Chains A and B, each alone.
Chain A
Amino acid sequence: MDDHLGSETDQILIQRAQEGDRQAFGTLVFRYQEKVIRVVYRMCGDLALAEDAAQEAFIRAWQRLPKYQHRDVFSAWLYRIAINQALDVLRREQDTVDVTGIDLAATNTGPEEYVTQRERTAQVRQAIMALPPASRAALILREYEALSYQEIAEVLEIPLGTVMSRLSYARTRLRELLTSQTEIG
């Protein structure tokens, strides 16, 4: 990575990137790529798709950077672009994204000791992917990115009450999907 930019603050890098400095933008991409890929992956459920979508999200961020206001939190602004990009991908790839994984019903047929970690992961992934995208986004930002309710509201541009409603719905629905004698109780 460009060492001379490694110690620069985000605000300085953003300002340089707004002036057209691609190296500065590259440093920002390096710093935030993990977060963006993580969010997009959990929204889409497919890693290869998520990496491509994350790259598209950064390209979109580059194009919109001149309009970015420094009073906004950069990570929230970036999350917003990433989630919108993930939603675009889901709409585009709805017929091809593999979210089936292990059939939920099959996990109830055998004792817990035979359910592998991979199956549990797939089970959870499938349950999350079964949520409506709006609720899924709120859940992912809360559970995996540890954003506060206020931060989630800013990212998704929704009221605080709507954040609480979506989270409540998501968790209730997940409990229904995942509830079994071996999982919760």
Chain B
Amino acid sequence: MNGHITTHWRNAYIDGELEGHQLKKVEQHLAICEQCRAEVEELRSLREILQRFDMPETIKSPQRFVDEVRLQLPARPARPVIRTQPGKAWWMISGSLLGVLLFVQGVWVISTLVIFALQSGLGPQVGLSQWSLPAIAEVGQVLAALLSGQAASIPVEQLLEVWQVLHWLLVLPLELSGATALLYCSWLAGWRVYRRWSPDVGNASGAQRTGS
């Protein structure tokens, strides 16, 4: 420190804003510099004088002041609740599930039409006579045997073949439809939970807000 303490440092000193090395330097200088000590004392005297500008008693009582403020509080217009929007991937899940469902249903419808065509004798006309008719006929025979209580007479291999056909034509579409429906319901439930708990851009719901 050269010369005397600057005005800024003098003020900071009496305001207790100095610490560490700065404080030590100022105190060391004040110990040897009468002029700076006098300046610091003048600042302290000024501080005492300023305290004469005291606060008079308020005109309104505290409760009255508060009541008047509350009466004048304007209604804050409700700010529209802006929820954070889910990403596109979220919507693609729903679309994909719908697509899978439509595909499965389409396969099932086509399969049903094929069976109907074969049963109606239209197989040769649609090019299926050489491939599907024996399997369909076997299915019919096996089902008839099962319904008449003659399951024991049916060979196991034949039962398995019939089961494979039935599984492909009937059970599999139902399984896929059921799984798709379950996934869709899960997505729907997740969507409802998301809408209930997702944070707004503002604050809690139902609150009054100033318009932005």
Among B54, B70, B72, B207, contact of A19 (Cβ-Cβ < 8 Å):
B207
Please give the distance in Å from A29's CB to the nearest CB on chain B: 5
Q: A41-B55, A63-B210 are in contact. Are A175 and B42 (CB under 8 A)?
A: yes
Name the B residues within 8 Å of A42 (CB-CB). Answer: 53, 55
Name the B residues within 8 Å of A113 (CB-CB). Answer: none
Please give the distance in Å from B111's CB to the nearest CB on chain A: 59
Q: Give complex CA distance A164, B9 in Å.
A: 9
Please give the distance in Å from A85's CB to the nearest CB on chain B: 13
Q: Give complex CA distance A58, B47 in Å.
A: 30
A18 and chain B: residue at smallest CB distance: B203
Please give the distance in Å from A14's CB to the nearest CB on chain B: 11
Interface residues of B in 57-75 (CB under 8 A from A): 58-60, 62-63, 65-70, 72-74
Of A20-28, A72-80, A92-100, A103-111, which binds chain B? A20-28
Among B42, B52, B65, B79, contact of A55 (Cβ-Cβ < 8 Å):
B65
Please give the distance in Å from A173's CB to the nearest CB on chain B: 11
Q: A20-B76, A29-B66 are in contact. Are A143 and B47 (CB under 8 A)?
A: yes
Name the B residues within 8 Å of A48 (CB-CB). Answer: 59
Residues of A within 8 A of B (CB): 1, 18-20, 22, 25-26, 29-30, 33-34, 37-38, 41-42, 47-48, 51, 54-55, 58-59, 62-64, 66-67, 117, 120-121, 124-125, 128, 139, 142-144, 148-149, 164-165, 167-168, 171-172, 174-175, 178, 183-184
Residues of B within 8 A of A (CB): 7-8, 11-12, 15, 17, 42-43, 45-47, 49-56, 58-60, 62-63, 65-70, 72-74, 76, 79, 202-204, 207-210
Q: A33-B66, A144-B50, A164-B8 are in contact. List 15 more A-B contacts (CB 8 A).
A: A19-B203, A22-B73, A25-B70, A30-B66, A41-B55, A47-B58, A59-B72, A62-B73, A63-B74, A66-B203, A66-B209, A121-B52, A142-B15, A149-B12, A164-B11
- Between A and B, 19 residue pairs with Cβ closer than 8 Å are A18-B203, A20-B207, A25-B70, A25-B73, A33-B65, A41-B55, A47-B58, A62-B76, A63-B210, A120-B52, A121-B53, A125-B53, A128-B53, A142-B15, A143-B50, A148-B17, A164-B8, A168-B8, A184-B49
